[in-house]
Amino acid sequence: MEGLKLKLVRKLQSWVKPFFDYKNGVKVSFWASGIQHVQFEGSNIVPEYCVFSDKTKLGYRTTLGTNNFFGGKVTIGKYCQIGRDVAFHPTNHPISHLTTYINSHLFNGELKNLKTERPIEIGHDVWIGHGVIVLAGVTVGNGAILAAGSVVTKSVESYTIVAGNPAKPVRKRFSDEIIEEIQILKWWDKSDEELESIKPMFFRDFSDSKMLTK
């Protein structure tokens, strides 16, 4: 009986939160909005309640979390994983004018033109944890990790873990030598066949290694 009940619940969930096939292997929830602003590279997953308010680029096989918010121009690389409740805010209200209020209720929204915008750029193979906020002008390098709950106000170097509010570097994931080798390898640009040929490399633990190939 419990197994049948679980199957019924899952079936109900699939009806309430359905996905549709968009194009190029992209799956989008019916509850996502603003996808007309998105340039998909393919094999992406956009779950429910994601919002895109301006030009956004999602790299190949990058996946999003529930309730992601893209508040302006954002570029995200390939093979990125983004957790739930993550927000990208490339725009800012005016702070040196009489008011920060730019809603349509004042001067029919004309003050909205005073907003500033600095695009956000996320590299390849970046992991962004639950509840992270990324602010205007931030660039995140390849392989970086933005720890859950972080507020990222400054750019993050490749293969660096940051955490906190404001986010600060915790440590680098690998030695400088390994980071350089990965950047040269650019595995995210390889075909599935090429990735298969270097598959053992993905199962290695490089905690105590100084070189990628040794």
What is Dmax (Cα atoms) for the chain? 65
Residue 197 tokens read as 């040929």
Which of the four pLDDT bands, split at 50, 70 and 90, describes residue 35?
Answer: very high
Give the domains, in start order, of the chain with CATH numbers: 13-173 (2.160.10.10), 175-214 (no CATH)
Q: Is the per-residue pLDDT at 184 higher than 80?
A: yes
Residue 3 tokens read as 């197994």
What integer is the mean pLDDT of 142-157? 98
Which of the four pLDDT bands, split at 50, 70 and 90, describes residue 109?
Answer: confident
pLDDT at site 11: 66
174 neighbors 188 (Cβ within 8 angstroms) = no
* Secondary-structure percent of the chain, ordered helix, strand, coil, rounded to 5: 25, 25, 50
Q: Is the per-residue pLDDT at 1 higher than 60?
A: no
Mean pLDDT of the chain: 92
State which amino acid sits at residue 153. T
Between 124 and 25, the more confident residue is: 124
- Residue pLDDT, tens place only, 187-211: 999 999 999 999 999 998 888 776 6
Whether cis (ω within 30° of 0) applies to the bond prior to 166 is yes
Would you please indicate which residues are annotated as catalytic (active-site) residues? 93
**Percent above pLDDT 90 for the chain:** 73
Torsion angles phi and psi, residue 184, rounded to 5: -75, -40
Residues with Cβ < 8 Å from 29, sequence gap 6 or more? 17, 18, 19, 46, 47, 48, 49, 50
| C-alpha 85 chain-centroid distance | 11
Rg (CA), the chain: 20
Comparing CA positions, the residue from 129, 125, 144 lying closest to residue 62 is 125
Q: Which stretches of the chain are DSSP H helices?
A: 2-16, 176-185, 192-197, 199-202
102 neighbors 94 (Cβ within 8 angstroms) = yes
Q: Is the per-residue pLDDT at 7 higher than 80?
A: no
Question: Distance between CA atoms of 30 and 65, rounded to whole angstroms?
Answer: 14
Comparing CA positions, the residue from 190, 197, 202, 160 lying closest to residue 60 is 190
What integer is the mean pLDDT of 165-186? 95
pLDDT at site 15: 64
